[in-house]
A and B are shown apart, each in its own frame.
Chain A
Amino acid sequence: MRGTEKASRGASRRAFLQGGAAALGGAALAVGGRSAWDAAAAEPRPVPEPPDAAGRATVAFRGVRQPGVDTVPQSFAAFVALDLVDGVDREALVRLMGIWTDDVQRLMAGRPGLTDTEPELAAVPARLTVTLGYGPAVFTAAGLEDRRPTWLRPLPPFGVDRLEDRWNDGDLLLQVCADDEVTVAHAVRLLVKEARTFTTVRWVQRGFRRSPGTERPGTTMRNLMGQVDGTRNLDPAVDPDLVWHADTSRGWLAGGTSMVVRRIAIDLDTWDELDRSGREEAVGRRLDTGAPLTGTREHDEPDLDAKGPNGFEVIGSFAHIRRSRTDDPEQRFLRRAYNYDDPPPAGALSDSGLLFVTFQADVDRQFVPIQRRLDELDLLNEWTTPVGSAVFAVPPGARDGEYLGQGLLGAPA
């Protein structure tokens, strides 16, 4: 099955739906040929999961879309931004894409790279995905400025931004995700060293979520402020057009998307000063269940008009979930965030935050308006500060026989 995980654990919703469809088809066939009772009796018993199932799981590489976007988020991620060295042109980019395509295909299948000096480290794919993004400079280097999407540029400045250049922008991006940190480190090392005559490393940001097998699949992630984070995330299976440029659309980006990487520092020291009710009011959700303050379960619809006994709105006018909501159904995007917790500078207790990573068909139409609303007013701004920002175009996937980016770089000029 293309684009789905092979392991039973952590299977994506899409995988589940497809698997369900396949099972239904099988059942229908069985019913056609035999009695329903026979079909039920023939149902295979659940096979016990081998202890290393999480490590053996793989995600398909080949396809119309790149993996690592609608893949259920793995536990660990590295975001590696690279800059092209002088002199890299379209021909050189094609060579680089050929190298990376081969490496990524091998690594995602749990096989060593062609020149892998640590082949044993490749034996645990752990749902490894590598997702490639292009910054604006790729289009300049390739002499293809006319094909650069209009939204592919730095985000407009926001009042809350305190951007540091060391976390900004980049000519190329590799998002490397797996359910194992050794797998991520090895893949990053191989991909970066294979590219060393074409690129230099601009920045690397590493992030994490809960480890495999530590909580129920499908649980919404928590950030390091303790909040359930991403309850109202869009489902790419339900709203594919908000994530992808339609597979059948014209142009090289068909099957592609865009990626925003924002590094959001969290001041946990001042967050610590806030009591639990204050924390819940800042967001508008309960900390334990993630339910809106007007509901009881995580996915309950917030009642923004509800008033408390004193006449004030239950979900305050500054609350994050009120500010991030919009009546425009197009102003949504797929969030795929990771926590970070890096060594603190001298004298500080921590350097923690969120790698706020989003995928959307159009940055300007979907992402920027929401960011503007939050910039204007969001109680969470008191404790969160964007310190890095980058935008990338995510080319379509590599179909059989293709290299990544072939639709852009391989097309006639």
Chain B
Amino acid sequence: MSAPHRASPYVTNPKDTTMTTIPTPIRTSPRARLLAGVGALSLAAALGACSTGTADAGGDTAAAAPETTEAAALTIADPWVKAADAGMTAAFGTLENGSDTDVRIVSATSEVTSSMELHEMATGDDGAMVMQQKAGGFVLEAGGSHELSPGGDHLMFMDLTTPVQPGDEVAVTLTAEDGSTFEFTAPARSFSGANEEYHGDGGDMEGMEGMEDADDGAGHGSGDSGQDDGEHADS
């Protein structure tokens, strides 16, 4: 196992079907992951199937020894993102590790936010639930699943740079400990929950409810200007 690769510069292009065998960090798109199958045994065949893919910038793929990446074993069921105009929001879903070794997710990125964090809910000193970064990231046990849900572990968008409207599709890239990446697309949904846990003393965090008020009422460009009307009516 290589050391955690925190700030992966390798943002996977969703259309990139490249499957490389270079040492870490390794780029792996979902399609490549599917093609890669479950282990080295199928790798030769998978490489054949990948013949239409374009070579990675590394250029030394042919010489490298076959190796399966951590991210290659990942899938996610029912991913979704809470719609928000600005500020914080979060993504949820059930991550699954199809391999026979544990996989550690160490970071996440998305083009709609300046940064992302891997969060957990914990009981604070005052007994209230607070969210905090999960030390060491999310560990997905071999063959197991890991639920990301409101009130539990989640992928935190720290500061949206683009509004996420209900019905949008948001691409998220997870980076595993070996630097390999797994990208998925999550549809955005209106959601009233996933608020209260951020009300507490969360340091300088604004809390996700802040985003509900971010809309100035005039909409945003050609999008759905009525975006937050219902949200306000609820409160």
A114 → chain B, closest Cβ, in Å?
A: 5
User: Would you call B226 and A95 a contact (CB within 8 A)?
Assistant: no
The reply to whether B222 and A197 form a contact with Cβ atoms under 8 Å apart is no
Distance in Å from the Cβ of A374 to the closest Cβ of chain B? 40
Within 8 A of B (CB), among A183-203: 193-198, 200
CB-CB nearest in chain B for A193: B190
CA distance A193 to B190 in the complex (A): 8
- Given known contacts A95-B166, A95-B168, A198-B166, A86 and B187 CB-to-CB distance under 8 angstroms: no
Are A86 and B226 interface neighbours, CB within 8 A? yes
Residue-wise, chain B 171-198 has the 8 Å CB interface mask toward A (1 for contact) of 0000000000000000101111100000
A86 and B80 alpha carbons, distance in the complex (Å)? 26
- Is the CB–CB distance between A87 and B225 below 8 Å? yes
- Chain B residues, CB < 8 A from A91: 222-224
Instruction: Say whether B80 contacts A115, CB under 8 Å.
Output: yes
With A194-B189, A196-B231, A197-B166 given, is the CB distance from A86 to B225 under 8 Å? yes
**Per-residue interface assignment for chain B, residues 159 to 170, with 1 indicating a CB less than 8 Å from any chain A CB and 0 otherwise:** 000000111100
A96: chain B residues at CB < 8 Å are 166-167
Is the CB–CB distance between B191 and A115 below 8 Å?
Answer: yes
Chain B: which residue is nearest A84 at the CB level? B226
B208-235, CB under 8 A of A: which get 1 and which 0? 0000000000010011111111110110
Task: Compute how far the CA of A87 lies from the CA of B228 in the bound complex, rounded to whole angstroms.
Answer: 12
In the complex, what's the smallest C-beta–C-beta distance from A117 to chain B, in angstroms? 6
Tally of contact residues, B, Cβ under 8 A = 26
Tell me which of A98, A114, A117 contacts B193 (CB under 8 A).
A117
Determine whether B83 belongs to the interface, using a CB cutoff of 8 Å to chain A.
yes
Q: State the Cβ distance, A280 to closest chain B Cβ, in Å.
A: 50
Say yes or no for B204: interface residue by CB 8 A criterion: no
On chain A, the residues within 8 Å of B80 by CB distance are 114-115
- Given the known interface contacts A95-B168, A98-B187, the answer about A196 and B234 at a Cβ–Cβ threshold of 8 Å is yes
Task: Tell me if B78 is interfacial: C-beta within 8 Å of chain A.
Answer: yes
CB–CB B166/A194 < 8 A: yes
Q: A89: which B residues are within 8 A, CB to CB?
A: 222, 224
A196 in contact with B224 given A87-B219, A99-B187 (CB within 8 Å)? no
Contact of A85 among B167, B222, B226, B234 (CB under 8 A): B226
| Contact between A94 and B167, CB atoms less than 8 A apart | yes
A85-106 CB contact bits vs B (8 Å, 1 = yes)? Answer: 1111101101110110010000
The verdict on A114 contacting B189 (CB below 8 Å), with A98-B167, A99-B167, A196-B231 known, is yes
A interface residues, tally (CB under 8 Å): 23
Whether B78 and A196, one on each chain, are in contact in the complex, defined by CB atoms closer than 8 angstroms, is no
Of residues 60 through 106 on chain A, the ones whose CB sits less than 8 Å from some CB of chain B are 85-89, 91-92, 94-96, 98-99, 102
Note all chain A residues with C-beta closer than 8 A to B219.
87
Cβ contacts under 8 Å, B192 to chain A: 193
Q: In the complex, which residues of chain B have a beta carbon less than 8 angstroms from the beta carbon of A200?
A: 229-230
Cα A277 to Cα B166 with chains together (Å):
58
B189 near A95: Cβ-Cβ < 8 Å: no
Contact for B231 among A114, A117, A197, A198, CB less than 8 A: A197
Closest to A95 in B: B167
Closest-by-CB residue of B relative to A87 is B225
Output the nearest chain B residue to A114 by Cβ-Cβ distance: B80
A114–B167 CB distance below 8 A: no
Q: How far is the CB of A271 from chain B (nearest CB, A)?
A: 41
A197 partner, pick from B78, B83, B187, B193, beta carbons under 8 A: B83
Say whether, besides A95-B166, A95-B167, A99-B166, A194 and B225 are in contact (CB < 8 Å). no
**Chain A: minimal CB distance from B232 (Å):** 10
- How far, in whole Å, are A95 and B225 apart by their CA atoms in the complex? 13
Chain A: CB-nearest residue to B215:
A197
> Which B residue sits closest to A89, measured CB to CB?
B222
CB distance from B190 to the nearest CB of A (A): 6
> In the complex, are the beta carbons of A197 and B189 less than 8 A apart?
no
Q: Which residues of B contact A86 (CB under 8 A)?
A: 225-226
CA A224 – CA B193 in complex, angstroms? 42
Question: How many angstroms between the C-alpha atoms of A94 and B165 in the bound complex?
Answer: 12
Known: A95-B165, A95-B167, A99-B166. A198 touches B224 (CB 8 A): yes
Give A123 Cβ to nearest chain B Cβ, in Å. Answer: 16
Q: Is the CB of A197 within 8 A of B224?
A: yes
- Whether the Cβ atoms of B229 and A197 lie closer than 8 Å is yes
Near A by CB (< 8 A), chain B positions 27-79 give 78
C-alpha gap A117/B167 in the complex (Å):
18
Q: How far is the CB of B229 from chain A (nearest CB, A)?
A: 6
CA distance A102 to B166 in the complex (A): 13
Is the CB–CB distance between B226 and A115 below 8 Å?
no
In order of increasing CB-CB distance, the 7 nearest A-B pairs are A95-B167, A196-B230, A87-B225, A85-B226, A92-B224, A115-B189, A197-B227
A-B contact pairs, 21 of them (CB 8 A): A85-B230, A86-B225, A86-B226, A89-B224, A92-B224, A95-B166, A96-B166, A96-B167, A98-B187, A99-B166, A114-B80, A114-B187, A115-B189, A115-B190, A194-B189, A194-B190, A195-B190, A197-B166, A197-B190, A197-B226, A197-B227
Footprint of B on A, CB under 8 Å?
85-89, 91-92, 94-96, 98-99, 102, 114-115, 117, 193-198, 200
Further contacts, 13 of them, CB under 8 A, given A91-B223, A98-B187, A197-B224: A87-B226, A92-B226, A95-B168, A99-B166, A114-B189, A193-B190, A194-B166, A194-B190, A195-B190, A197-B83, A197-B166, A197-B227, A197-B231
